[in-house]
Structure 1
Amino acid sequence: MLIAPVIPPQTPLQELIQAMHTAPRPVVTPIDSDVVYSMCIVGAAGRIHDRAVLDALHWPTGTHLGIHCAYDGILLIRQTDHGTAHVTGGYFRVPFRQRRATDLHIGDKVLLVAHPQRHQLAIYPPPALHAFFGNHFRTLDL
């Protein structure tokens, strides 16, 4: 029988070893289980590639999408019959005009928030994330 040491680990290596022997932290369940979160990097020509989100939204290849810029710099995507964008092989492209309107660039990391029951997706580009979290982060006392 082993008795756990009372002395805290003194080196980063000891911290890693001790972390492996402790039980994993419980995963917190989301407040709204109907919402799917993910992150991706905007690819060439505005490509948004996240198969898990598209599968959760039930958007197979050929699904037409309408893309709308919200007032606060967020892109809202919805399944429509006559949308200008469409899903192709697990991705879709955000047209240049919508990317320019929200200051979204190739290579930016974006937050994807999907609501499968409403067949809606919101894309939060870096400027929108900064507007939400930038000032809040400065007020935190680390």
Structure 2
Amino acid sequence: MSGPRPGGDDDPRAAQHSGPGRAGDRGDHPRAAPPRPPRPPLPDLPHPPTRPDQAEAHLDVGRLDPSGRISARALLHLLGWPPGHRIQFDITAGVITATSDPAGRHTIGATGLLATPAPIRQLCHLTAGDLVVLLAQPGRDLLLIHPARTVARLLAGQFAAGNAG
């Protein structure tokens, strides 16, 4: 069996199907592609808000320790209240409010715990071991502390009135 090897250098079909850089290349190179037109500029996008949304709210549940402290590190971090940050406590409609106040009499503890003052706890009938629902609103620089029994009563009332969901 002698004769040209299929696809070999001596096969006449190889020159027909070869491209640049292959056997049978005679230096013919494809033309350079025409330059692309410049891309249009990107559209201007709205700037992200520099402040948190006023309505943004974050929830957590805590338990008062015997000294009236509540572990609320995640919410305090969201509010930007580091240890030593000065705050003011008030009571509005049975809800404890904590707000930033450079002249506030109370501070966030060194370990990031929120110490609720004894008079505030007494007025809201809170004792050691009680559960509280915490609601942080970073846009308003506000932390609300609800006794869990109050929240449970409100939710039960909504459900009984057919307003659940």
Please say whether Structure 1 and Structure 2 have the same fold, judged by a TM-score greater than 0.5. yes
Query: AA paired with 1:83?
Result: G
The RMSD of aligned alpha carbons is 1.9
- Which residue of structure 2 aligns with residue 75 of structure 1? 96
Query: Which whole-Å deviations, capped at 9, do the CAs of 1:29-52 have from their partners, x for residues lacking one?
Result: xxx872111111111211011111
What percent of counterpart residues are identical?
A: 25
TM-score (norm 2): 0.60
Unaligned runs of 5+ in 2: 1-53
Contact 2:64-2:128 at 8 Å conserved across structures = yes
Tell me the CA shift for residue 116 of structure 1. 0.7
Distance 1:37 1:112, change over 3 A: same
- Which residue of structure 2 aligns with residue 59 of structure 1? 81
Question: How many Å separate the matches in 1 of 2:159 and 2:138?
Answer: 30
TM-score (norm 1): 0.68
Q: What is the DSSP-based 3-state SS (H/G/I as helix, E as strand, rest coil) of the residue aligned with 1:99?
A: helix
Higher RCO structure (Cα 8 Å, ≥6 apart)? 1
Count of aligned positions: 108
Tell me the CA shift for residue 112 of structure 1. 0.4
Query: AA paired with 1:74?
Result: V
- Which residue of structure 2 aligns with residue 18 of structure 1? none
- Which residue of structure 1 aligns with residue 106 of structure 2? 85
- Which residue of structure 2 aligns with residue 117 of structure 1? 139
Tell me the CA shift for residue 134 of structure 1. 3.6
Question: How many Å separate the matches in 1 of 2:94 and 2:157?
Answer: 17
Find out whether 1:43 has 2:69 as its counterpart.
no
Unaligned runs of 5+ in 1: 1-31
- Which residue of structure 1 aligns with residue 151 of structure 2? 129
Question: How many Å separate the matches in 1 of 2:117 and 2:100?
Answer: 16
Query: Which whole-Å deviations, capped at 9, do the CAs of 1:67-93 have from their partners, x for residues lacking one?
Result: 0011x2100000101212210121121
Q: What is the DSSP-based 3-state SS (H/G/I as helix, E as strand, rest coil) of the residue aligned with 1:113?
A: strand
